[in-house]
A = this chain, B = another copy of it.
Amino acid sequence: MRDWAYCFWWQDSSLAASDRRAVAWHTVAMTSNDQTLIPQTMQPKWNADGLLPAIAQDARTGEVLMMAWMNEEALRLTLSENRTVYWSRSRKSLWRKGETSGNVQELVDVRLDCDGDTLLLKVHQVGEGACHTGRRHCFFYEPKDKQWVFGASACD
């Protein structure tokens, strides 16, 4: 059973935040027999290198644009500057997306996943695209005859 009651109460803005939280906890407890009890808060679980994978999705079209990595500072700057800032593993430095190309990603929304080890960023992609090749997105190799070949989706 899904915890629809929980969702209903959480979104009921006529309740004060503290009441919503109390009701929510109660409702989760009431429905926890047949579902996983969900922690109310989550901490990012940085990997051994202090990084998390961050998926950038076009907030308007839903296209998955790219995947990159963030350390704690990159995430903090992304949230404070409202634009994506990644950690470049090859250059070992912060990387403000679009700093040189102009193809900035303005932050629309950000979510952490159920086990705290992946970020999903909804963004407004400025300019031609997210990919360093100038394409709209990075996912353009298709499996064909046991190879990954440059495909039609590269033209998206």
Specify which chain B residues have a CB less than 8 angstroms from the CB of A108 in the assembled complex. Answer: none
Whether A114 contacts B132 in the complex (CB less than 8 A), given A41-B149, A148-B41, A150-B40, comes out as yes
For A120, give its contact among B53, B64, B110 (CB under 8 Å). B64
Pick the most buried of A2, A128, A150, A154: most chain B CB atoms within 10 A of its CB.
A150
A81 contacts B by Cβ under 8 Å? no
A42 contacts B by Cβ under 8 Å? yes
Contact flags A121-156 to B (C-beta < 8 A → 1, else 0)? 000000010011111001111110001111111110
Instruction: Tell me the chain A residues, 62-109 only, with Cβ under 8 Å from chain B.
Output: 62-64, 66-67, 79
Q: Let me know if B155 and A138 touch, CB within 8 A.
A: no
Specify which chain B residues have a CB less than 8 angstroms from the CB of A153 in the assembled complex. Answer: 111
**Cα A67 to Cα B117 with chains together (Å):** 9
